[in-house]
Structure 1
Amino acid sequence: MLNLERLRVLHAVATTGSVVGAARLLHVTTSAVSQQMARLEQETGTHLVERQGRGIRLTEAGTLLAGEAAELLAHVERVMATMAQHHGLVTGDLTIAAFPTAARALLPSALRALRARYPELTVSAREQEPYEAVPAVRRGLLDLAVVEDWTGDPLALPQGLDHRALLDDTYDIALPPDHRLAGHPTLSLADLGDEQWITSSDGQLCHEWLVRNIKRARIAHTASEHPTQLALVAAGLGIAIIPRLGREPAAAPVRFAPLVDAPRRRVFAVWRSTSTARPSIGVVVDALIEACPVA
């Protein structure tokens, strides 16, 4: 009979692409991974990995068994989640990732509440963009992620993931206090065509929205973090489009004006469908919702 833990090691090697990656994922040594793989090859009577340069790759038999292992481990996770639900236990370890704004605005409050309510639950958090976090959840490298997409530009979620909406976040225009438009109650795209902009890097949501909707947009400066963008706005170096979630005071006064037909992003939590029944998933999602600002 095949050993479940050895199949878990094979799945980790397949998921991460290396013995080192598998060891990090499983929190064991590389020698332990190699030993488990050797024993699994003895049990199956076939080679599961082969050398490729300085690393390894799965053989055809290894790839076949890794696929079966993934299905088996998913079933085991589903069974364990169901049993945890039956007992109502909120225990164990859980890993969560969030994109930077949500990590700053939601995670501190949510994690504090979880620690107070569920002392036997350990939640480890990291900052990670959705394009990295979603595959990591699917592959089992994370238990849950807070991600975002924009109205009209939905984030494609792979099969096997569940999700729950946390909030809709609206964007406003940030202007220097002495800007000619600073006193306007609302602004339209037509008002902003000739402005110099401060925005995120090429490829990020704000940048893509800007170049798509304002054809003549002149991008003067780029910065990944919104506090940096606001500091540049406060210095009179341009204007920016900034989300309301997690908005922080700038280094100097900045005026905010609502934008007609402003873009909105949807913020939501995702996790593997096989772990939906885990009480810990439910309480973490509830804590995230509680941490969301009231609209």
Structure 2
Amino acid sequence: MLDVNRIRVFRAVVASGSVQAAARHLGYTPSTISQHITALQRETGLTLFEKAGRGIVPTATGRLLAAESEELMGNLARLTGMVDDLRAGHTGGLEIASFSSAAQQWVPSVVRRLREEFPGLVVDLALNETALQQQGLRADIDIRVEDLEVELPETPGRCRRVLAEETYVCVVPRDHPLADRGEIGLADLVDEAWIRDDRVESMCTQIINRAAAAAGVTPNYVARSDDHHTAMAFVAAGVGVCVLPRLAALTAPAGTAVLEVSDPVPRRRIVALLRDSSETNPAAQRAIDLLLEAARGVDEARAA
């Protein structure tokens, strides 16, 4: 029988891209990671990695094993969680995965309402923004973003519900010449220093860049951050301006102004993917309803 921990370490190396990165993520030494990989290759009789420059990359066999083991590891994580819940005397659980701004703005009120209606419910929240975070993820509800201009295939084993279509806004320093305009066109930002809320180009940055190109603007990015809070802190410090989704800008710090963006208006879609096996779970169904309420609340606040 395959050693489950070795499979977990192997998948971490594949997802992280190197032994050193996997060691940092898992809290192991690089030599321990290498020992696990060597043992797994001996155990399976397969060559899972090959040298590439100073590092290693997964072979075709390794990539196949990583893909085929995803469901197994997800089910194992859920089984472990169920055992923990039973040991603690809990009789029901719900796992929600989300990107950070929805996790901050929507999920807390949803969980509060769920706990009022299902007192024995235990809720787990996982972030899903990176490949490593998505590894083995088998959440009952997976809140994700989509590009309106990209047609996506159906997700096997998931029922898709559209929660909202979200526009982007621009956060500028409070003393910026544009700060009192209320609404600007992307062309107004042609000579500005821009800040990105990601370091590796994400779907959101692709949406922004496409809209900017339509306005004849090539963003001059002078700073990049892994999260929107830090990006907006850069704005408050006067480093530049930041175009980002409305949901993220709800936490814009003091010293900034949030402006509507037009000509064109960048947009993204927010969806919830409900696992087929969770459709009979009353808490999961109720969570979808509450997420729809939370999404409508943001739109209503904007209209007001």
Q: TM-score, normalized by length of structure 1?
A: 0.65
> Residues 222 and 117 (structure 1 numbering): CA distance in 2 closer, same or farther, change over 3 Å?
same
State the partner residue of 2:249.
Answer: 247
Please tell me whether residue 53 in structure 1 is matched to residue 38 in structure 2.
yes
What do the CA deviations read for 1:21-72 (whole angstroms, capped 9, x no partner)? 99xxxxxxxxxxxxxxxxxxxxxxxxxxxx9731267699xx9xxx9xx8xx
Please tell me whether residue 172 in structure 1 is matched to residue 169 in structure 2.
yes
Shift of 1:99: 0.7
In 2, Cα distance between equivalents of 1:164 and 1:182: 36
State the partner residue of 1:224.
Answer: 226
SS at match of 1:53: helix
Q: TM-score, normalized by length of structure 2?
A: 0.64
In 2, Cα distance between equivalents of 1:151 and 1:230: 25
Please tell me whether residue 191 in structure 1 is matched to residue 188 in structure 2.
yes
What do the CA deviations read for 1:90-118 (whole angstroms, capped 9, x no partner)? x5222111111111111111111111110
SS at match of 1:111: helix
In 1, Cα distance between equivalents of 2:133 and 2:201: 17
Aligned length in residues:
232
In 2, Cα distance between equivalents of 1:133 and 1:152: 25
State the partner residue of 1:93.
Answer: 93
State the partner residue of 2:148.
Answer: 151
Please tell me whether residue 278 in structure 1 is matched to residue 292 in structure 2.
no
Contact preservation (8 Å) 2:231, 2:242: yes
In 2, Cα distance between equivalents of 1:130 and 1:18: 20
Shift of 1:123: 1.4
Q: Which of residues 7, 30, 46 is equivalent to 1:18?
A: 7
In 2, Cα distance between equivalents of 1:235 and 1:19: 42
Shift of 1:134: 6.4
> Residues 249 and 166 (structure 1 numbering): CA distance in 2 closer, same or farther, change over 3 Å?
closer
Matches within 5 A, 1:55-204: 55=40, 92-129=92-129, 136-137=136-137, 141-200=138-197, 201-204=199-202
In 1, Cα distance between equivalents of 2:200 and 2:10: 30
In 2, Cα distance between equivalents of 1:128 and 1:174: 25
In 2, Cα distance between equivalents of 1:190 and 1:52: 52
**Structure having greater relative contact order (Cα 8 Å, sep ≥ 6):** 1
Q: Structure 2: where are the runs of 5+ without partners? A: 12-35, 47-63, 76-90, 300-304
Q: Structure 1: where are the runs of 5+ without partners? A: 1-8, 23-50, 75-90
SS at match of 1:171: strand
Shift of 1:181: 2.1
Contact preservation (8 Å) 1:199, 1:206: no
What do the CA deviations read for 1:155-189 (whole angstroms, capped 9, x no partner)? 54432211111222211111112222223242222
Contact preservation (8 Å) 2:10, 2:37: no
Matches within 5 A, 1:284-295: 284-292=287-295, 293-295=297-299
State the partner residue of 1:258.
Answer: 260
Q: Quick check: which has more Rg, 1 or 2? A: 1
CA RMSD of aligned residues (A): 3.7
> Residues 155 and 106 (structure 1 numbering): CA distance in 2 closer, same or farther, change over 3 Å?
farther
In 2, Cα distance between equivalents of 1:17 and 1:155: 33
